[in-house]
Structure 1
């Protein structure tokens, strides 16, 4: 026979070489501080994540307050007691905190846009996502929370003044459900965390 197994294996090795993926600067620099634009981008994503945690904490507090208001109004639709006023004031304070967080999301989105404009190279800042994709992910997350803030504000303005039980329950569910912050938005966040080295690739 003209060809041997060894020769066939050698030919295969010549045709197929291993592919080396670019490493994230975040993973390369675990033993030292990340610098330059990758460091700024990574910090933006960290701030985004931290603000989402703050949002979640206030969302839960607000959900409990909305539920308490709904129960009180369901028991007495004409309730205008000091207890109801206290709950409404507490919910207002939560919405004020969420307003600040929504503003932070907008600021971080603009920061990422500016950073990408500064990065003149075509190469990605991190592993695989193009730089404009980083902007799109941060912007999509910021817009989702901005839309959700409008819902929270709408609930605040109406729940304590509801005139029937169906309205009351509708407002309480609107607060709790967070339709704008869905699995797609959560996936975008995970993509950002992984891309920038905050999440390990398993």
Structure 2
């Protein structure tokens, strides 16, 4: 979890994982939850852009982004340091899930499109695909590398569209683009009772139910 600090999403997501991995439920195997505490998410979760003119259309000031565009370094940290360290130090296999919401959802989308094989499962919630004037969506087909692990799974969730129709439409557009690729297992979840600020917990719970449909009693 890129938003994985104690004051971010670590505690409540580990609770969902613990619930689903208890032996009398066994929705999926016991798992290692890796939470990465943020230092500067606007810097680390965004890719390079020519200018910041687009942020004002989203209601932000350019001054809100004094540093940005370092996602390539962050992704390299995943690939070259973090994942090899976990697999060497712990009893980990190569089944990997990344969970991200908002700017972290943008980061997850960038990894999916450019470094697909880093993870088997992508849970992308209310992603900030407006970054770069939605260039990831515009370039998705050309960016997407079909170096997929077998049965790569993607779960995309969006909160109430009345809060931000453009973010809903972009999340839905991402789903439609990915749905065209038969090697992907892709799901979309609309949560009209949730807002951008509240969607994370329920969306992750729904994702686990949708992606791992069998429990120990239903096998």
Rg larger for? 1
Which structure features the higher share of helix residues?
Answer: 1
Q: Which has the higher contact order (CA 8 A, sep 6+)?
A: 1
Which structure features the higher share of strand residues?
Answer: 2
Q: TM-score, normalised by structure 1?
A: 0.27
Q: TM-score, normalised by structure 2?
A: 0.26
